[in-house]
Amino acid sequence: MRVILTLFLAFTFSHVHSQCWASDLKQELKTNKDLSDAIKNDKDKSLVDSWKALYEAGEDNLTERLGDIKLVDDHLTRNPEKSAFEVTQEIQDAPGGFGNWKNYDLEYTYREVEIVDAGGNPLGEFDGIDTDRKAFIEDKSALGLNNINPNTGQPYQTPAQWSKKQIHDKTVVRIENLNNNAAQTRSTSGGSSTVPDLNEIKDFKTLHFRINSDDPALISSVQQELANLKMEYPDWDFTVQFGQN
Amino acid sequence: MSVALLIEKIDGTVTRDYLPISGELSFKTEWLPVCRLLHLKWIPLFQTGGTFDENDIPFILEELVLLRDHFASLEKEKIKTRLSYLIKKLESLKGKSTVFFIG
């Protein structure tokens, strides 16, 4: 009797729950033109599943989050063995969640590409370049953020100071150098033996940081600096992932 | 973000003088093992990065010279050249009031 009751309750709940998300999706498609257009234009993809997974995972404001729905969909496409709900949880559980997931899957077509001026003087360096996705990759270690200055006995910097220097200031210099002063590329001692021509990468407008820390204060200050960079360079796309390098 | 020198102030004047030092991968796989071998304590700080001033320059220079000579003995020309650029730049700051970031 207990088994029958349990089965009945489970069926009733799932039926009602399923009706609930289906009804909400229907409503969503009426009001969310971007989502309905995306589904129309990507009929072979699983945007509905992705929307449903986000809904079931308790994510809210889905009307505003077509980008996140597409992130789930992209991740699902690359990992067909997983369910939409699994990939949604994977993104949710990553440090920084959805806000820091974009571009996590860039690949190193080249490692350590140096840019130099007409005189051969070094101007900057990119830890990685994904030529297919037209993106620069920057690896950064933040694990020693609490290192002590041997002379003063004090920590070198706060997360906010670190982010200002490492994320904002250095990026500004390198973008300016890339745009205005770079004459050619060069390989480094530890990087790829061949590197792309400057003309191949000069118009890339995506810069993705990989920071091997998931300290909440650091995540917050890095996000702030990325927002500042975006205001200064609106045609660039700045993204980050934490806890992996 | 690779490792670089960013000079912020020289004698009270704000600058943005920038010198790339090493990619993150090279720093991890080539620089740090030698730093451990030579028992260096300042240069490993560059991986995460930190702000320094004129008081730190003699200590940093002392280690950079040791490192450059070591890489020269290994015929690692590209790293030796990078170190020479950095040594020259820091030597030019001697006797000045300065704030710079390396990381």
Could you write out the DSSP letters of every residue in A178-216? Answer: HHHT--EEEE-SSS-SS---HHHHTT--EEEEEES---H
- Tell me the CA distances in angstroms from A231 to A193, A212, A227, A235, one per residue in order: 36, 25, 6, 9
Bridge-based pairing state of the strands B50-53 and B98-102:
antiparallel
Q: Where are the alpha helices (DSSP H) in chain B?
A: 24-26, 32-37, 57-73, 77-91
Please, are residues B83 and B61 in contact by the beta-carbon 8 Å criterion? no
- pLDDT score of A13: 46
Q: In which domain, by residue range, is B13 found?
A: 3-102
Task: Chain A: give the shortest CA distance to residue B90, in Å.
Answer: 16
Tens digit of each residue's pLDDT (9 = 90 or more) over B60-82: 999 999 999 999 999 999 899 99
Q: Is the pLDDT of residue A129 over 80?
A: yes
Cα A221 off chain centre by: 16
Q: How many CB pairs under 8 A join A and B?
A: 112
Mean pLDDT of A27-46: 80
Confidence tier at A118 by pLDDT (50, 70, 90): very high
Q: Pick from A115, A170, A195, A232 the residue to mutate for testing the B interface (most B CBs within 10 Å).
A: A170
Residue A16: pLDDT above 70?
Answer: no
How far apart (Å, rounded) are the C-alpha atoms in residues B72 and A67?
51
Distance from CA of A135 to the nearest CA of B (A): 14
* pLDDT at site A17: 55
Q: What are phi and psi of A148, to 5 degrees?
A: -100, 135
Number of domains observed in the structure of chain B: 1
Partner residues linked to B101 by β-bridges: B6, B51
Among residues of chain B, what percentage have pLDDT more than 70? 99
Domain ranges of chain A: 2-93, 110-242
Is the pTM for the entire model greater than 0.90? no
Q: Tell me whether residues A138 and B1 touch, CB distance under 8 A.
A: yes
Helix (H) or strand (E) segment spanning residue A128? strand A122-130
> Where are the alpha helices (H) located in A79-182, listed in sequence order?
84-93, 159-163, 170-180
Among candidate residues B88, B89, B84, B103, the one with its CA nearest the CA of residue B10: B89
Question: Comparing C-alpha atoms, which of A110, A116, A195 is closest to residue B82?
Answer: A116
Give the pLDDT of residue A112: 94
